[in-house]
């Protein structure tokens, strides 16, 4: 069995996904979450994030540029 056959189950905002586990160097494996194109997951997570942020007082939200667009678009 290679590393692409192994997965890690995760539940994000009620959406279940099986993340592939990839060996990035000998002895170090990580689960990969690719949100680009996963509209169901992004919409559910964005709604949950919006609900959590609604309870906080803040002036600025800082996110990494390549990943920010899918998360913020459903919040508009």
- Residue spans per domain, the chain: 3-75
CATH 3.50.50.60 fits 3-75, yes or no: no
Over the chain (76 residues), what is each successive 10-residue block's mean pLDDT? 74 96 94 89 87 82 68 58
Residue 1 pLDDT: 47
Of 54, 60, 55, give the one whose Cα is nearest residue 75.
54
**pLDDT of the residue at 7:** 95
Separation between Cα atoms, residue 44 and residue 46, nearest integer Å: 6
What is the rounded CA–CA span in Å between residue 23 and residue 1?
A: 13
Task: Note the pTM of the prediction, 2 decimals.
Answer: 0.69
């Amino acid at each position: 069995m290679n590393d692409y056959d192994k997965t890690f189950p995760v539940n994000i905002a009620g959406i279940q996904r099986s993340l592939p586990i990839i060996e990035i160097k000998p002895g170090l494996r990580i689960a990969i979450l690719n949100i680009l194109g996963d509209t169901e997951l992004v919409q559910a997570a964005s709604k949950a994030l919006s609900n959590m942020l609604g309870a906080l007082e803040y002036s600025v939200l800082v996110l990494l540029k390549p990943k920010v667009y899918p998360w913020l678009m459903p919040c508009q």
